[in-house]
Amino acid sequence: MKEARDAVRLEEVHKVYYTSKLPVIAVNGVTLGIRPGEFLVLMGPSGCGKSTLLHLMGGVDRPTSGRVLIGGRNLVSLSDNELSDFRRDSIGFVFQSYNLIPSLTAAENIEIPLMIKGLGKKDRDARVAEILRLVDLRDRSDHTPSMLSGGEEQRVAIGRALANDPTVVLLDEPTGNLDQGSGRAILELVSGLNRNKGKTLCMVTHDRALAGYGTRLVEMVDGKMKGEEK
């Protein structure tokens, strides 16, 4: 079965937010597969459900119904503890707003997932050095986020997402807050993860000019997938 080889697979996924007013159907029956080594770009108008879909793929949130499979493993059937362990080991998530810890340096932010995983100091230091080199921030390792530019903060966030060597990396508008030059630099880094390190990627963006970095483009409207291109 072709589907069984998908790195990420959503089957008939729905997500409904129940608020005090009407329920909001943010994701309305999405079936989508991402093959290993693919770099999927996800576009669509504001509010169509892109971030919600990415959160479901990454196990950051749970669907109201449907199945979410990463490497064939159904996230829906995992307990909260199992899900957070799985997320830590297998999925790198890059939030639009970076979500760095302001009191920690770039190196320490990257070290957090390694500490949670229980790696010893020597292994952590070696891995942090390797990641800082990858995201080209060796000379900023002891800067806290307020001492970094937006592009540098985003590179720390990407480094942190890569610390535990996940197979799947999900990025929510990684260039949304950056000027064009820094945005391009981030995209070069991200597409290198796909080309050179074989990571499976899904990136949400508003910028059609960036869609060309991906290997496939899909569009969402009103919680559903539109026709596919490329």
Ligand X SMILES: Nc1ncnc2c1ncn2[C@@H]1O[C@H](COP(=O)(O)OP(=O)(O)OP(=O)(O)O)[C@@H](O)[C@H]1O
Contacts with 180 (C-beta within 8 Å, 6 or more apart), sequence order: none
> If you search the block for the tokens 């749970």, which residue do you land on?
62
In the chain, what's the furthest Cα-to-Cα distance? 53
User: Does 50 contact ligand X by CB under 6 A?
Assistant: yes
Q: Does 51 bind Mg ion (CB under 5 A)?
A: yes
Asked if 24 touches ligand X (CB under 6 A), the answer is: yes
Partner in contact with 81, chosen from ligand X, Mg ion, none, beta carbon below 5 to 8 Å by kind: none
- Segment near Mg ion (CB under 5 A), from 51-59, 79-87, 110-118, 154-162? 51-59
In the bound state with ligand X, the residue whose beta carbon lies nearer, of 47 and 72, is: 47
Here the tokens at position 77 are 């059937």
Selected range binding ligand X among 16-24, 128-136, 160-168, 183-191, rule: CB under 6 A: 16-24
**CB contact burial 25-44 (16+ within 10 A = b; e otherwise):** bbbbebebbbeeebbbbbbb
At closest approach, how far in Å is the CB of 60 from ligand X?
12
**Minimal distance in Å, beta carbon 104 to ligand X?**
27
Around Cβ 59, how many Cβ atoms within 10 Å? 23
Of all residues in the shown chain, the one whose CB is closest to Mg ion is 51
CA-to-CA distance for 211 and 39, rounded, in angstroms?
A: 10
Beta carbon of residue 90, minimum distance to ligand X (angstroms, whole number) = 22
Place of tokens 């966030």: 157
Work out which of 8, 11, 32, 49 binds ligand X, going by CB under 6 A.
49
Interface residues with Mg ion (CB under 5 A) are 51
